Structure 1
Amino acid sequence: MKIGELARRSGLPPSRLRFYEASGLIGGVQRQANGYRTYPAQTLQTLEIIGCAQQAGFSLEEIRRLLPNPDQQPRPHDELLASLRRKVAEIDALQQRLAQNKAQLLTIIDSIEERPEGMQCTENAERVLARIRGESP
């Protein structure tokens, strides 16, 4: 199929398809005598895999390493599972950091909202910053 049809069927702009081709994410592209690209039918499935992997947090480099290369042997099953498990571990670590950041921000919000009656904003800011630094207010 030509790039216009692939773009329409995949929902991706032709520029992205050309980028993926230049990046080595999609292969098997043949050029006709007039310079038009012709993509094999399995390119649609590859594009779906790329989209799903990006939504799951994989970088394009990680995706490139995971995608089957038609010119080489398929990726070993264990290697694919190990990569997926590593990504899950990265997501777990990120969730933990985000939870800590959220807790810290909620503590700061509470500190700001607990401003003593009549205290000016600048004085309250100093009080909150002292708490964050672990100093006595």
Structure 2
Amino acid sequence: MKIGELAALTGVAPSRIRFYERIGLLKTVARQANGYRSYPPEALTMLKLIITAQQSGFSLEELSTLLPSDLEAWDHSSLLGALEQKVQDIEDLERRLAANKAQLLELLAEINAKPDDMDCRDNAKRVLSQLGLVREGE
């Protein structure tokens, strides 16, 4: 199949497909006598794998070491290790995001707890002092 067909089937721009080919992620490309690229059906599968993996948080560098040149030649232990590590990375990110969210919610609550007779400038000082970012009277 030609690059236009592959692009239409995957929703990936031809320039992006050529980029994946150039960096070695898409290896099953042949050139016809006229110089046009010819992609076998496996290229569609590989391209979908690349897209899905990127959406799951894998970098292109990670993919270059993980994806086999032949879909039949997966290194089972490397694949499992990479997937388990990515799950751990996501869980670590979730913990950091939850902590960041909790801090922001606490800050919002403090800002919203502004006494009615206090202006915003004094409220900002109050909140910052409670967070230990400034001392009273500064």
TM-score normalised by structure 2 residue count: 0.91
Q: Which amino acid aligns with 1:2?
A: K
CA shift for structure 1 position 28: 2.0
- Residue in 1 aligned with 2:106? 107
* Alignment size in residue pairs: 135
CA shift for structure 1 position 56: 0.8
- Residue in 2 aligned with 1:78? 77
CA shift for structure 1 position 135: 6.7
Q: Which amino acid aligns with 1:107?
A: E
- Residue in 1 aligned with 2:91? 92
Unaligned runs of 5+ in 2: none
Contact residue 111 and residue 123 of structure 2 kept, 8 A: yes
Q: Which amino acid aligns with 2:2?
A: K
Q: Which amino acid aligns with 2:100?
A: N
Measure, in 2, the Cα distance between the counterparts of 1:124 and 1:132: 12
Q: Which amino acid aligns with 1:11?
A: G
Q: CA RMSD in A?
A: 1.7
2:21 pairs with 1:41: no
CA shift for structure 1 position 75: 3.7
TM-score normalised by structure 1 residue count: 0.92
Q: For 2:41, what is the secondary structure of its paired residue?
A: coil
Measure, in 1, the Cα distance between the counterparts of 2:74 and 2:82: 11
- Residue in 2 aligned with 1:64? 64
Q: Which moved more, 1:26-35 or 1:43-52?
A: 26-35
Q: For 2:131, what is the secondary structure of its paired residue?
A: helix
Q: Identity, % of aligned pairs? A: 50
Q: Which amino acid aligns with 1:27?
A: K
Contact residue 3 and residue 39 of structure 2 kept, 8 A: yes
Measure, in 2, the Cα distance between the counterparts of 1:37 and 1:135: 63
Contact residue 28 and residue 42 of structure 2 kept, 8 A: no
